[in-house]
Amino acid sequence: MLRRFAIPMGVVLLSLLFLLTRLHEVSVGEHDIWAREAASLERSAHRVPYRRGRIEDRHGRPWVTDQVSYQIEFVWRDFRRGHPLGNIVQLMSLTLMRPVDLQEVSGGDAALWAGHLVALSPDQIRSFGRGGELTVGGVTIPELPEKGRRGARREERRPARAQALRYYIERLMMVTRKEWQALRDLRDSDRSGESYAQLVADLRRREGEALGSSVQRVERELRDRVDRSISHLAELGGLVDWSALEEADLPLAQGALARVVQVLDHAREQSENKAADRLFQIAAGFPARHLSRDNLNRLDLGWLKKCLYWDDFRLESWRSKRGGQYVQDVNRHVAGYVFARMQLSQGDLADRVLDSLAHEFVHPDDRADPRKALVTPWRSADRLRTLGDLNQILEHGEESDSQRGWVLPFQIEELRDADLQGMDLLVTSLQQVGMGPELLNAFDYEGIEELASGLLELPGTGAARRTDWGPGELKPIKCVLVAWNQRLDEEVGQVLGGLSQPVLFHEDRVRAALEDRDHVIKDMSSRPLTFTDNPSDALVHHVERYHTD
């Protein structure tokens, strides 16, 4: 009886073992295949609205209202790491030692470049990281000279580039975790001179398949995947409603694929610019947009170019966008902040106006504690933003005196001690600097008295205080902010002009920016940017179905 019972039990155990093995293969090994099959199934959808309701104040004025909005967002870091086109662009930038955009490789050369890149061997990449020569697709990056090689390697970030090359080649070939462990052993073995295509093909070789046939199959699958992903991007472009961008007078490229690539390149540029903004602020202590383009050109930003793998043209593009951008910020939000401070602060009307205006230019370390006061009193504002720390920020800043008397009128001791109020106080302060006829005419003011009168009418008193404003109402605030920022920038220019050109940042400030480089780039490239508003159901389904492409 026992012997006859043991045979069926063994069969059951073997069946269970086979079933568990097959389940593991389907759920883990063949996950991508079945995920694509599931995504390809016909589906239906309907939108479920979510309404919170209006929120009103005690006077019945709406503070919050519902607005139906749907968006598709784009994250450059995910695209760069997961999409074959993003992998290729990143690899080309690393090997060619210059920025490469998506438009450069999406026109038919992407699959060709993919073949060139996977033809590199671990030995070639290792030699490149040490300063050796590297040839990709007929383009040769020369070997660094022996003399000063260590410093040159550091300047070009060769070791970091080599490490990134290995990472993105493996991402391009979709190396799994299990394959990665075996590939790591092959990279360090006597086969390290073989190409990545050969090493990966050996790991994926089917039973009885020759290595040469396996290499051809892997390369063919890679080409097909690249071509398929580009085709899906073109289909996506055909589903996007481009009218919003056309109405915004943006020059759109011709063709669905070209337009998608153009938008993705713009998103990549935005994320890189934000990373440059943050790295500059770490080194300088203030945003680059507070300086004019001329003053930005006086600064040596070679370290920033190397941080982001930029060339001179790309750095100049960033400089041109950031130089003088403060005027745009004034129109977008700064004037509104100043207006709100005028409304909410306390004291004499003219003092409230000057307090709110001066607060925008006070050094951040000297500003009032926001838990105790909304603004810094203008009579106690001494150090200015941008100018206050230049002697510590710059390599030879101690050679210049960055505090040469007063720069903005609220710093003048005679004005602080004078017993002036109301119109007299504002007119006297505005007459001191930067309010010439040319600027006043640009803002449609015939004289300083008219500008001062406009400032006094803004805040209101008692029940007249408001937190909203109409178009053009903030014009007097904008006029003063632009004038004072120009005056401050002129003073910064005099300091920079008195130093050896180009002006170097202090090495400690540059080191602080370099230490945060990886974190900053990861953070800024991970922030989602809007790809399109109010997408159609067909567009949403397309993105879901081909999300990896």
Q: How do the pLDDT tens digits run along the chain, 549 residues long?
A: 445 544 567 777 777 887 887 777 767 666 666 665 565 555 555 666 667 778 888 888 888 888 777 888 899 999 999 999 999 999 999 888 888 888 888 876 888 999 999 999 999 999 999 999 999 888 888 888 988 888 888 888 889 899 999 999 999 999 988 888 899 988 888 999 999 999 999 999 988 899 999 999 999 999 999 999 999 999 999 998 888 776 556 677 788 898 999 889 999 999 999 999 999 999 999 999 999 999 999 999 999 998 888 989 999 999 999 998 999 999 989 999 999 888 888 888 889 999 999 999 999 888 888 788 888 889 888 889 998 888 889 988 776 654 567 899 998 999 988 888 889 999 999 988 878 888 888 888 888 999 988 888 876 544 455 555 565 678 999 999 999 999 999 999 999 998 989 999 999 999 999 999 999 999 999 999 888 888 888 888 888 888 877
Q: Using DSSP bridges, classify how beta strands 529-533 and 71-74 pair: parallel, antiparallel or unpaired.
A: antiparallel
Domain range list for the chain: 13-41, 76-243+538-545, 326-502
Q: Give CA 400 to chain center in angstroms.
A: 34
Alpha helices in 148-248 (DSSP H): 149-156, 158-172, 177-187, 196-203, 211-239, 243-247
1: three-class secondary structure by DSSP: coil
DSSP 396: T
Who contacts 251 (Cβ-Cβ below 8 Å, separation ≥6)?
A: none
Q: What angle do CA 303, 512, 394 make, to 5 degrees?
A: 65
The token pair that represents 467 in the structure block = 């937190």
Q: What phi and psi values does residue 414 have, to the nearest 5 degrees?
A: -60, -35
Do residues 94 and 160 make contact, with C-beta atoms less than 8 angstroms apart?
Answer: no
CA distance linking residue 411 with residue 263, whole number of Å:
47
Contacts 24+ apart (CB under 8 A), 420-428: 421/348, 421/350, 421/351, 422/348, 422/349, 422/350, 422/456, 423/350, 423/449, 423/452, 423/453, 423/456, 425/350, 425/351, 425/354, 426/350, 426/353, 426/354, 426/452, 426/455, 426/456, 427/452
Other beta carbons less than 10 A from residue 510's beta carbon:
20
Which amino acid is it at 46? H
Question: Which pLDDT score, from 0 to 100, does residue 201 have?
Answer: 93
Tokens of 286: 């203030």
Q: Sign of the C-alpha dihedral, residues 384, 406, 348, 63? A: negative
Length of the chain, in residues: 549
User: Which is it for the CA torsion 277, 282, 288, 293, positive or negative?
Assistant: negative
Strand partners, 159: none
pLDDT of residue 437: 85
For residue 1, what pLDDT is reported?
45
Query: Can you state the angle between helices 196-203 and 177-187, rounded to 10 degrees?
Result: 130
User: 62 φ, ψ to 5°?
Assistant: -70, 135
Q: Give backbone dihedrals phi and psi of 190, rounded to 5 degrees, phi first.
A: -75, 0
